[in-house]
Amino acid sequence: MPKPDSLQGSLDLLVLKILSRRPRLHGYAIMSAIEGMSAEVLRVEEGSLYPALHRMEEAGWIRAEWIVKDTGRRARIYELTAGGKRQLAAEESRWEAVTSAVNRVLRMA
Amino acid sequence: MSLWSRIANVLRGDGLSREIDEELGSHIEEAIERGRDPAEARRAFGSALQRREESRDIRLVPWLDSLRADAVFGWRQIMKRKATSAAAILSLALAIGSCTSAFRLIDALLLRPLPVANPERLYVVAFEDRGPDGKTQVYDSCSYPMFRQMRAVARGQAELIAVSYAERSDLTYGSDLEMEKAYRQFVSGWMFGAFGLRPAAGRMLTENDDDKPGASPYAVLSYEYWTRRFGQNRNVIGRTFQMGDTHFEIAGVAPESFTGTETGTVTDIFLPMAMKNPRTLASPNNFWLRTLVQLKAGIAAEPVHQMLSATYHAAEEERVKSFTAIERRRDQARQEKFLLEPAGSGRSNLQRYYRSALTALGILVALVLLIACANVANLMTAQAAARAREMALRISIGATRWRLTQLVLMESIWLAFIATAIGGLFAWWAAPFIIGMIDSPDNPARLVLPADWRVLGFGLALALGVTFVLGLGPALRASAVRPASVLKGGEDPHSRRRLMHALIAVQIAFCFVVHFAAGLFSTTFDRLSHQPTGFSAGRILNLETLPQRPQLPVYWQQVLDHLRAVPGVEKAALTVWPLMSGESAVGDISINGGAPSEVYADFLNVSPGWMDTMRIPFLGGRDFVASDANPAVAIVNQSFAKQYFDGESPIGKWFERAGPGDARSRFQVVGFVRDARSRDDMRRPIRPTAYVPFQSYVPSQSIGAKGAFMPMSRGTFVVRTSSANPLALASILRREVPNARAEFRVTNVRTQTEIDQAHTVRERLLAMLGVFFAGIALLLAGVGLYGVLDYSVLLRRKEIGIRMAIGAQAGGIARLVAVDVLSMVAAGALGGVVLGLASARYIESLFFQVKATDPAMLAIPSLTIVAAALLAALPAVIHAVRIDPVSMLRLE
């Protein structure tokens, strides 16, 4: 049984958004970016990040490339594709719809 | 795009794993670099192996990947046991190759549709009647007037197309000295249009070319002939050639795929029907063509059949009116049935002659294939048993049943496909080889044998079929393993043995059938080839000769005299055609001025000395002399004396031969000779034969009137050479004939031995291949039996050790080991007898002087198989008896 995703299915959206702002990041940097920007509120479960990245890569939203870092070690970095940009827009509007709906419920209840 | 990358990732499975591992590893290192505690970072990351598997399944096609893994594993299994695998693959390859060869031949000759528009709507007119021996015979020759009547009646519902029998004829593109041979076929001009054939060059014949007899001397070449003879030169359009007395102009070239309607013969030159000689075209009594019926779209065959049948019978009734009383009586006895047979695959005598033979061979090779499959299936069952623990382990760690089935099946797929590939190569060589065997130099069988999707499809279907026959049983058994019972020490060992024993019985039964058929075929061949011919064929050379125009007998005699003087010629004589060449002339016989006989006699014109040359001994009377002529004197054979003179000596007696109208020619018998075979059908008794002098008077109405001699348009010089190989003299004699007289030309040179052997080609083919396959079947079944017995001794060695320890005798042990299997052999042989007897009825027409129920025919294969079975059982029994109980029990 996979552990419940603490981000409730929004991992894709976050990864795509991060990559749209700062292209060419490796997995650890994406994770750090999500945690840093959310002021440590959102924590990415480290292991499940990679299957998600690979799934998006196979879906054609992101593309990967091996580079050699300054330290001499190899790292696999990711950037958004055109399909990824479209997907990001779709995910964002879906997220807007869901959060505003949830907010409406919270206000009215 | 994404699917492709996932399929590509399957192919670099290990590389993919490494890449994922490296990426995950760089994550941990990054974390440590950022100052996290290594142990904490690893704990936070979770199981790297599980993450890797998750990512792998995302980045490739999981089922394809498991298939790949199983394929690799199966390949390793095969490579681990190189010798066994090679034996399995080779036996399968031989069987598959034989099956594919048989399929190529059967497909090319009997199944492949003609490359014409709507071949499924193509039929041929045929007739069935009961011969004098009560057997039904089917033939398909029609006369041209009959064809025209039928065509007129069917107009609107079907197009009728006349095609003559393809014949090898002489023609020349230059002078008479440069004669060559080609297959020519007269066809209705509209055939090309009706078949939807487009010319490769020039134009096709049309209905206009078939309007008026003799008006349209145009010819269409086949593509193959155009290529072979002219190197596809387009300038040949408009060129002329001479065939017979007529000059033809080449009008065009047929498309590449179309080789004529006579499957087994590639027609070289198509000529319009109207160019056949006018007498033949007009004659209602000359049957020289086939009638093809092409139904129009949406028209059913049966009404057309009825309509044509009615037309045919009405026309026949009309024709019979011109018959003499005796001819009418003969005709009425025939009771013909009019048939419309499908001809979508063309129509030829080769098809008719080889249909049942090829089908029988096809079934034999299929049985051999099944025997080979049973062997490999037994091998795999034994291996599956040895791998039961491995399977149990796999199930324990969560493999599904389907996954295990796939794992074991993959191995059979490897075996089947490697064997099919090797077998395909074998078939590539073997099918033309067999065509070569049924070839005769004078009448080459040319069968188009393309290796196209039909053959490929058959090969694939065969490979898949073999895979499932081999693998499915063992695979399902292996995957049905119950881990608990295996880990406890084994399941019921007998269930597996029962399967193997049943397969042994089936193998033996099939092996018996193959042996039984092979025995029948080789006995048939033996009996047929030892049929007495009554003459001596050794060192005889036949020079079939055509002069430019008919020549008087005296000139023929001059050439003969010239040949007799050639060194190396022992004897020489003259006749019309060689004995047993398939040509014959018949005549009515009336004795003492009585009514003509019901039974015809064969007539053959021969010169003085012909009997001596052919070594046909005289029983009485004398040979012809130079002054004898036809009619007046005759030499008759024993059958003739028996048929017409009640077996009395015929010397000095008279008989008459009915000529045209009421004319009769009268013959006095001057010689009496032993029977010699003149016809080409070896299965029939030798016919009553009257030999008459080569030189004939011009037929005259008055009996005995001696007029001028008739010029002869053909003849055959029969030469007995003094050297053992008559062909050594062939080219010299071929040159000497025109040297003697320039108008004479040899069209064909054949040894008598070659002509004789041509009549047993089919039987020789069946006998040779039958014995070959019987050998293979016996070898395979023997190896299979040996393997199963050896395996069962291996399984029971513990039991045998205990039995020996408590005092069992060697004989008892041997019985214990062998009795099951040998009873299976007995059961299999019994099944084989039943199967063999039941199936022999369908191929009875191929046998000669031998019956399936002949005890010897059943006994020989039974004994062979039992002997082979005993031999195969011996090593395992010796092995069992030699088991040392002490060491066996210590092993446990």
pLDDT digits (tens, 9 = 90+) for B777-812: 898 888 888 888 888 887 788 888 888 888 888 888
pLDDT at B123 (0 to 100): 94
Q: For B388, phi and psi rounded to 5 degrees?
A: -55, -40
> For residue B386, how far is the Cα from the chain centroid?
44
Where residue B172 falls (left for φ over 0; alpha for ψ -120 to 50; beta otherwise) is: beta
pLDDT at B188 (0 to 100): 93
Confidence of residue B441 (pLDDT cuts 50, 70, 90): low
d(CA B45, CA B47): 7
* pLDDT tens readout for residues B255-270: 988 988 988 888 899 9
Confidence of residue A9 (pLDDT cuts 50, 70, 90): low
Query: Are A54 and B26 in contact (CB < 8 Å)?
Result: no
Name the residue facing B24 among A32, A50, A58 (closest C-beta).
A50
d(CA B781, CA B372): 8
Mean pLDDT for B2-30 is 81
The strand ranges marked E within chain A are 25-26, 62-68, 74-80
Residue A87 belongs to some domain of the structure: yes
Residue A6 belongs to some domain of the structure: no
Terminal-residue alpha carbon distance, chain A: 34
pLDDT at B167 (0 to 100): 85
pLDDT at B331 (0 to 100): 63
Name every chain B residue with its beta carbon within 8 A of the beta carbon of A46: 27, 31, 44-46
Mean pLDDT for B643-652 is 87
* pLDDT tens readout for residues B658-682: 765 566 788 889 999 999 998 888 8
Range B822-826 contact pairs with CB under 8 angstroms and sequence separation of 24 or more: B822/B869, B822/B870, B822/B873, B824/B501, B824/B502, B824/B504, B824/B505, B824/B508, B825/B504, B825/B505, B825/B508, B825/B785, B825/B865, B825/B866, B825/B869
Confidence of residue A88 (pLDDT cuts 50, 70, 90): very high
Token reading at B546: 């055509």
Average pLDDT value over all residues in chain A? 84
Decide: B865 and B821 in contact? Cβ < 8 Å: no
Decide: B580 and B756 in contact? Cβ < 8 Å: yes
More confident site: B699 or A80: A80
d(CA B832, CA B862): 9
Query: Are B33 and A71 in contact (CB < 8 Å)?
Result: yes
Name the residue facing B2 among A27, A58, A74 (closest C-beta).
A58
Query: Are B29 and A73 in contact (CB < 8 Å)?
Result: yes
Query: Are B31 and A59 in contact (CB < 8 Å)?
Result: no
> For residue B504, how far is the Cα from the chain centroid?
30
Nearest 5°: CA angle at B180, between B178 and B183?
A: 155
pLDDT at A1 (0 to 100): 33
Q: For B885, phi and psi rounded to 5 degrees?
A: -60, -35
- B820 pLDDT exceeds 90? no
Q: How many CA atoms lie within 13 A of B494 on its CB side?
A: 1
Task: Give SS3 for B105.
Answer: helix
Token reading at B677: 């075979």
pLDDT at B415 (0 to 100): 85
Token reading at B699: 């037929």
The strand ranges marked E within B476-577 are 540-547, 569-575
- Give the rounded percent of residues in chain B with a pLDDT score beyond 90: 22
Mean pLDDT for B425-450 is 72
Residue A66 belongs to some domain of the structure: yes
Mean pLDDT for B581-592 is 83
- B717 pLDDT exceeds 90? yes
Name every residue whose Cβ is closer than 8 Å to that of residue B296 and which is 6 or more positions away in sequence. B121, B156, B157, B158, B159
Name every residue whose Cβ is closer than 8 Å to that of residue B816 and which is 6 or more positions away in sequence. B796, B800, B803, B808, B880
d(CA B342, CA B295): 11
d(CA B594, CA B561): 41
- B594 pLDDT exceeds 60? yes
- B70 pLDDT exceeds 50? yes
Mean pLDDT for B107-127 is 89
Query: Are A74 and B22 in contact (CB < 8 Å)?
Result: yes
Confidence of residue B491 (pLDDT cuts 50, 70, 90): low
d(CA B582, CA B588): 20
Query: Closest chain B residue to A76 measured between Cα atoms?
Result: B23
Nearest CA to B249 out of B190, B203, B189 is that of B203
DSSP state of B535: S
Which of B484-498, B591-605, B634-648, B793-807 has the least mean pLDDT?
B484-498
Nearest CA to B97 out of B458, B455, B427 is that of B427
Query: Are A58 and B22 in contact (CB < 8 Å)?
Result: no
- B18 pLDDT exceeds 50? yes
- B713 pLDDT exceeds 90? no
H/E stretch holding B201 reads strand B201-202
Decide: B465 and B417 in contact? Cβ < 8 Å: no
The strand ranges marked E within B493-632 are 540-547, 569-575, 585-587, 601-606, 618-621
Whole-angstrom CA distances from B735 to A63, B714, B753 are: 84, 17, 22
Confidence of residue B220 (pLDDT cuts 50, 70, 90): very high
Mean pLDDT for B68-75 is 86
Handedness of CA B352, B354, B357, B361 (dihedral sign): negative
Query: Are B59 and A59 in contact (CB < 8 Å)?
Result: no
Mean pLDDT for B466-487 is 75
pLDDT at A3 (0 to 100): 38
pLDDT at B852 (0 to 100): 80
Q: Mutate which of B43, B51, B61 to test chain A, going by most A C-beta atoms within 10 A?
A: B51
Where residue B583 falls (left for φ over 0; alpha for ψ -120 to 50; beta otherwise) is: beta
Mean pLDDT for B581-600 is 82
Mean pLDDT for A44-60 is 85
Mean pLDDT for B374-403 is 80
The complex scores an ipTM of 0.84
* pLDDT tens readout for residues B22-39: 888 888 888 888 888 888
Mean pLDDT for B300-314 is 91
Name the residue facing A50 among B29, B33, B55 (closest C-beta).
B55
More confident site: B213 or B335: B213
Name the residue facing A73 among B26, B47, B58 (closest C-beta).
B26
Residue A3 belongs to some domain of the structure: no
Q: A88: domain range?
A: 11-108
Decide: B606 and B662 in contact? Cβ < 8 Å: no
Query: Closest chain B residue to A50 measured between Cα atoms?
Result: B55
Other CB atoms within 10 Å distance of the CB of residue B322: 10
Decide: B542 and B753 in contact? Cβ < 8 Å: no
Query: Are B51 and A47 in contact (CB < 8 Å)?
Result: yes
- B109 pLDDT exceeds 60? yes
Query: Closest chain A residue to B52 measured between Cα atoms?
Result: A51
* Among B173-182, B451-460, B547-556, the range of highest mean pLDDT: B547-556
Mean pLDDT for B171-190 is 85
Mean pLDDT for B45-53 is 81
> For residue B815, how far is the Cα from the chain centroid?
46
CATH number of the domain encompassing residue A81: 1.10.10.10
Query: Closest chain B residue to A48 measured between Cα atoms?
Result: B51
Residue A1 belongs to some domain of the structure: no
pLDDT at B445 (0 to 100): 64
Residue A4 belongs to some domain of the structure: no
pLDDT at B334 (0 to 100): 59
Confidence of residue B456 (pLDDT cuts 50, 70, 90): confident
pLDDT at A7 (0 to 100): 53
Decide: B684 and B137 in contact? Cβ < 8 Å: no
- B384 pLDDT exceeds 80? no
Q: Is the pTM of this model over 0.95?
A: no
Query: Closest chain B residue to A78 measured between Cα atoms?
Result: B23
Token reading at B165: 């029998």
What are residue B604's DSSP bridge partners? B691
More confident site: B860 or B477: B860
Average pLDDT value over all residues in chain B? 84
Nearest 5°: CA angle at B872, between B853 and B93?
A: 80
Rounded to the nearest 10 degrees, the angle between the axes of helix B13-33 and helix B38-45 is 130
Where residue B846 falls (left for φ over 0; alpha for ψ -120 to 50; beta otherwise) is: alpha
Task: Give SS3 for B338.
Answer: strand
Number of compact structural domains in chain A: 1
Nearest CA to B773 out of B224, B302, B371 is that of B371
More confident site: B420 or A72: B420
Task: Give SS3 for B536.
Answer: coil
Number of continuous H segments (helices) and E segments (strands) in chain A: 4, 3
pLDDT at B495 (0 to 100): 66
Residue A2 belongs to some domain of the structure: no
Query: Closest chain B residue to A28 measured between Cα atoms?
Result: B27
Cis, peptide link before residue B631, omega less than 30° from 0: yes
Token reading at B149: 């009547």
d(CA B279, CA B320): 19
pLDDT at B198 (0 to 100): 92
- B125 pLDDT exceeds 90? yes
Q: Considering just the CA atoms, what is the radius of gyration of chain A in Å?
A: 15
> Beta B337-342 vs A74-80: how paired, if at all?
unpaired
Confidence of residue B444 (pLDDT cuts 50, 70, 90): low
